[in-house]
Structure 1
Amino acid sequence: MEIGVDTFVETTPDVHTGVTISHAERMREVVEEIVLADKVGLDIFGIGEHHRKEFGDSATALILAAAAPMTKRIRLTSSVTVLSAADPVRVFQQFATLDGLSNGRAEMIVGRGSMVDAFPLFGYDLNDYEVLFEEKLELLLKLRESEKVTWKGGHRPAFTNLGVYPRPVQNPLPVWVGSGGNAESAVRAGVHGLPLVLAIIGGSPLRFAPIVHLYKKAAASAGHDASKLRVAVHSLGFVAESTPLAVDRYFPSTQASFNAFGKERGWGEYTRAKFDAERSLEGSLFVGDPEAVANKIMYMRKQLGFTRFFLHMPVGTMPHQDVMKAIELLGTEVAPRVREANAKWEAEQS
């Protein structure tokens, strides 16, 4: 059972001061957060990919690479790489380089992107949203399987028997598929025999149980051993010494961020009542003291069968010291509780 953190390197106005942190400062903060996560025993740290002013994560592999020499054990991953709008060759080279710098600790989670800012920026047509991902995932998997590759597709120039370097330390370089609960995404991951990451950011996580079932059924039908395929969950949350303190520190920036993006997407107002409902045992938010967060992770682990959990924080801009404290508590108090409870539960199942 692995516990980790992911972030979008957010640079929105601070709800208390009105100050907007620079991309440069926030990136340096994230490197400090990765180093701390490694120090306190967390298993993995992920960084997303966006191409707009509210986020500083457009070059994910570079930020992860900055932390690689300063860390020893923690795995480093994208969360997610928007593969549809990227060149798979360059993506592979970047993460193979990260793998070398970290001595075999790089991973990538690939997806189509829920925000579509990358598509016009890199000259891709949103009408090709589905086929772009299918074709580029196929090429990415070829690149990790063989040093020299021959390729011909509809959305990238063809090449014949060319080597792609550097080669990663890990063979193969781990590739996960990220999904917001789309059935086709889950089936695609299963057919390819790739591990699946579910982004659960609203509503009851229990509604994803049929998606997990569909994923494993597709994997088995394609000839893969579904029992060996891993499922991870990415959910929003925050840890503090007490649940009231966690709520007080986490709600303001979360509400501001959800309402800002809600205006773009036509969401309703994000109220305190909605926030509190999502903090319930069957809601999507993991906000509270270490015991409460650990108990909820284990509850959802039993329902969905995941073996990796990402706590996404912050949502919006929060004070760096608050995020650092939350990472410390996640590593020193939440993760040990989860690992102990998980080991006991698994022993009971065997």
Structure 2
Amino acid sequence: MEEIKSLNDVKNIKIDSKRRLFSANHDEILAGMTTDIYFIKTMEILRHMNISTKEVVAEVFPRKSGVMCGVEEVLSLLQNKNIEIYALPEGETFEPKDTVMRIRGSYEEFGIYETVLLGMMAHPSGWATAARSCREAAGDKTCICFGARHVHPAVAPVMERAAVVGGADNASCILAAKLLGREPSGTIPHAAIIMAGDTVKVAKAYDEIMPPDSPRIILVDTFKDEAEEALNVAMALGKDLEGVRLDTPSERGGVTPELIYEIRKRLDQKGYDYVKIFVSGGLSPERIKILIEAGADAFGVGSYISGATPIDMTLDLKMVDGTPVAKRGRIPGLKDNPKLKRMK
């Protein structure tokens, strides 16, 4: 698919009536089909005026502090362009109005991609920032991203990858983990236990057929009291049981510190002190801290990460043909950031 160059190219775009999904594919993104139309109009005007090839320096800055993510996709987007790119490495922190990316080259080389590259950094940086907050709250405890079900599947791997960049230990989304060179984390949902009608039966089947590197962590909140079921599963699996997972719904009060404390004590009293307590469902950094104090060992965080607000990113042209420029209210010329690294 050819890169969009003109309004005529936009007019000629035809959408297959049998198209099954609404998300943009890679070729459509690279062709510029997800940009705002006014950038195409801008290129038409600049070419008409014979100034589209002027050398510019563009800088991107955020509206609030956070953790940088999305740089790798921007580099892939612009890899065939004759430009220089400087940026913060992924995982690096930034403050409001910091320069997080600088692009130097002919405006015609990258101008139509402003919408795309900003979007590639805005939401991933928001997800990474939320994950960093969870990481800091969890300390040395395991924290895994369980957020794929809360976002459109086209961006689920982008979101969970961003969570790992921000500090999550792993992702449950298969594609996200594979993109990171890892194996996805996760055990079983309530559906398996509901289908079988018995938690212990499912736990035994899991232990029998799953590969050795698949952790034996079993849900214990489906049918019976969580403390009772935790003991039943521990008795059935013995030393093979790595942990029990609590995902008690809000209709039953959710996972409380008191519940975790009781389960920890009851497991310890029966000699199952090696069994960890894994918690998921409605977690936030504040709840993670409280649940750690009660005895929780690991966390699966979903909506707190997946629902994070994008960090608004703005791209300004700061130099045109070597002359410092800026829109009214901004300072002309480059704003240095010692954290910037040459990327391209």
TM range (shorter): 0.3 to 0.5
* TM-score for the superposition, normalised by structure 2: 0.33
| TM-score normalised by L of structure 1 | 0.33
Greater relative CO (CA pairs within 8 A, separation 6+) = 2
